């Protein structure tokens, strides 16, 4: 990440590393914490809750991010246990998170997921839907809208990878121009973080480049389903 920031003429501290721990055990998360990482992203609700419980002794020092698709019947534990949700893809989800966020906790930090590549199989708001939803979410209590997230369609060349990231960055600028106080672009994974950082990403989601390739399938008993986000 440091090299990518150098190539983009950006200070390293301008980009946050979110360590994606999908399918990796709590022991690996603890080891990453002891190595200095404090922000961790989970794709699956139950898997994330299990790790939060297993690492309860570190709860005040770890920031937990939900980055996978979120079903409406699973918003309550996320509102109660997580610090960020990157994958808000419709107003109903944000409303439920707002209603279910305990009053004694800080506001839940939210990003709107945008289907920036227009893929029929991918979650997310279409770009022309974002402004209306963003305005509504920004007005909700107990949550704070921070910005946008996307999982662009895979591309081989750096130039092709940069195009959707550039589009998401432009969309954020448009929202800022409409008076929305947003500061976050959650974009860039192990395979395209250089392109994302060049286009202004503030959070990159990296898992396999840190832990290695995942060796076991993601859990399915809970009904969670999510594409790879790292």
Q: What structural domains does the chain harbor? A: 2-211 (3.20.20.10)
Determine the pLDDT at residue 216. 57
Q: Whole-angstrom Cα distance, residue 93 to residue 102? A: 16
The reported pTM is 0.91
Pairing of the two strands 63-66 and 39-42: parallel
Round the average pLDDT of the chain to a whole number and report it.
92
Q: Which helix (H) or strand (E) holds 148?
A: strand 143-149
pLDDT average, residue stretch 158-171: 97
Determine the pLDDT at residue 148. 98
Q: How confident is the model at residue 226 (pLDDT cuts 50, 70, 90)?
A: low
Q: Whole-angstrom Cα distance, residue 16 to residue 124? A: 22
Q: Is residue 92 a contact partner of residue 72, using CB atoms and an 8 Å limit? A: yes
Q: Which helix (H) or strand (E) holds 135?
A: helix 130-138
Q: How confident is the model at residue 225 (pLDDT cuts 50, 70, 90)?
A: very low
pLDDT average, residue stretch 73-84: 98
Determine the pLDDT at residue 229. 59
């Amino acid at each position: 990440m440091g090299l990518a920031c150098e190539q983009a003429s950006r200070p390293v501290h301008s980009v946050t590393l979110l360590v994606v721990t999908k399918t990796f055990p709590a022991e690996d998360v603890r080891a990453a914490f002891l190595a200095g990482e404090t922000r961790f992203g989970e794709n699956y609700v139950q898997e994330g809750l299990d790790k939060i419980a297993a690492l309860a002794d570190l709860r005040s020092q770890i920031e937990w991010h939900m980055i996978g698709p979120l079903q409406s019947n699973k918003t309550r534990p996320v509102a109660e246990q997580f610090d960020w949700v990157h994958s808000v893809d419709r107003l109903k989800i944000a409303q439920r998170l707002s209603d279910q966020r305990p009053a004694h906790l800080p506001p839940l930090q939210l990003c709107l997921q945008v289907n920036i590549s227009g893929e029929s199989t991918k979650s997310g708001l279409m770009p022309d839907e974002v402004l209306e939803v963003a305005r509504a979410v920004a007005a909700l209590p107990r949550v704070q809208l921070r910005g946008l997230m996307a999982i662009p369609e895979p591309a081989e060349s750096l130039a092709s990878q940069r195009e959707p990231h550039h589009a998401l960055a432009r969309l954020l600028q448009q929202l800022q121009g409409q008076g929305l106080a947003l500061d976050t672009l959650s974009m860039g994974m192990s395979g395209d973080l250089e392109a994302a950082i060049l286009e202004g990403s503030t959070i990159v989601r990296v898992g396999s480049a840190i832990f290695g390739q995942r060796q076991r399938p993601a859990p399915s008993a809970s009904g969670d389903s999510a594409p790879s986000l790292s």
